[in-house]
Copies of this chain bind each other. A is one copy, B any other.
Amino acid sequence: MPDLDRNGVTPEVIAQMASTPDPRLREIMAAAVRHLHDFAREVDLKPDEWLAGIAFLTAVGQACTSYRQEFILLSDVLGLSRLVNVMHDAEGREAAGTETSLLGPFFREKAPEFAAGESIATRDKGGEEIILFGTVTDAAGTPIPEAGIDIWQVDATGLYDLQSGDAAVMDMRGRFRADAEGRFHMRTVRPIGYSVPMDGPVGQFVQRQGRHGLRPGHIHVLVQAPGYRELVTALYMADDPSIDSDTVFGVARSLVVRPERGLPGAPRPDLPAIRYDFRLSRLDAEAGGGRVGADPSQMMPAGR
């Protein structure tokens, strides 16, 4: 029996985990233990601090429901989601393909379907009506017919439908289909900047860090077409005051847009419009899914 000192405990744990049959799980957990222990040693983590961490993670887990994913939110505000997203993007995206962004904790499967030109704002809560239009193409710019396009965003009060706490409500989200020439066209309201949910443990944590907790206004977009890599991205509003200090680090320069009147080809000249052409990358058979986020209801343990 080895007597474990502060350095000896780490190889002992990794040795006990060496029996893991799945080589990838073994690799991931050995690295996780090494970095976790290095962290604790570096900051000389005290029992009381460790206990505060346990209490925090417990509260984060307890805050999760079928319409709230507090662990994804935690990953987001720690920049881990963005890092995973950036690595995924660097790996399989064609250089000319549209950059990806976080899926986040507010995506929902099976959003209502809309016809071209309809608005996802099904409940009138105000906000300035805008148009989003463009073409779905491959990375070379060749149109892809009939891609599925999900968009979702906050309403004019800065809340997602999921934040109403009523799982039956679906609003400010919808599924569209591009036409045979790849063209799409939808209406929504100008997305305002908003705070990540501040009424839970992650919000309290962000406040204890003196961070503003704001995200610049954005429209989430998910584009799917057979034979192409699913595109998870978002379009960010250029004039939002927190465009340079997104609390979940989601903004990329190529995804910043500005609704404008008088754009050539805009289907509704009376409304401010965003034109964005989504360029899909080829499907890499090796790659798994690229969603850095989830429908909260898919993330709950069975029976909850």
Contact = CB atoms under 8 A, between A and B. Distances in A.
A51 B209 contact: no
A82 B9 contact: yes
Interface of A: 1, 3-6, 9-10, 12-13, 16-17, 19-22, 24-29, 31-33, 35-51, 54-55, 57-64, 69, 71-72, 75, 78-88, 90, 201, 208-211, 243-245, 247, 249, 251-253, 256, 288-292, 294, 299-301, 304
Nearest to A250: B4
Grouping DSSP codes into helix (H, G, I), strand (E, B) and loop, the A interface class, with mixed when no group exceeds half, is helix
Contacts of A35: 35-36, 38-39, 42
A51 B294 contact: yes
Given A43-B27, A71-B57, A83 B10 contact: yes
Contacts of A82: 4, 9
* Most-contacted residue by chain B among A25, A44, A50, A256 (CB, 10 A): A50
B210 A21 contact: yes
For the complex of A and B, 7 pairs with smallest distance between CB atoms: A61-B61, A19-B210, A13-B79, A48-B288, A35-B39, A20-B209, A59-B301
Contact of A4 (B45, B57, B252): B252
A296 to B, nearest CB: 9
A288 B47 contact: yes
B87 A75 contact: no
B40 A87 contact: yes
A119 to B, nearest CB: 30
